Amino acid sequence: MKLRTTALLIASLLVLAGCDQAEKSAQQLMGKAAESAKQAIDDTHKAAEQAISDATGGLISKKEPSGDDKEKSESSSQEI
């Protein structure tokens, strides 16, 4: 009976350790996915700005954000 209890306890600990490792791996994967998504959005935005500039022949220039707009832009770009 003691052997079964010990085996069950050891098996439970191994499962818990596996769950912790799986959670850490999932968090790392989510972080990488979020960074990739952010990069894709930034690249798309840059390409769209370039396309607009090309289409208008440079008549419409990119407006430099004011101080308040810069702060909003920077805070929205922070990592989640």
Among 38, 18, 37, 15, which Cα is nearest to 26's?
18
22: which 2 tokens? Answer: 């799986």
Q: Per the structure block, which two tokens stand in for 76? A: 């929205």
User: Does residue 50 carry a pLDDT above 90?
Assistant: yes
pLDDT tens figures, 15-38: 888 888 888 999 999 999 999 999
Measured CA to CA, the distance from residue 17 to residue 29 in angstroms comes to: 18
Does the model's pTM come out above 0.85? no
Q: What are phi and psi of 58, to 5 degrees?
A: 80, 5
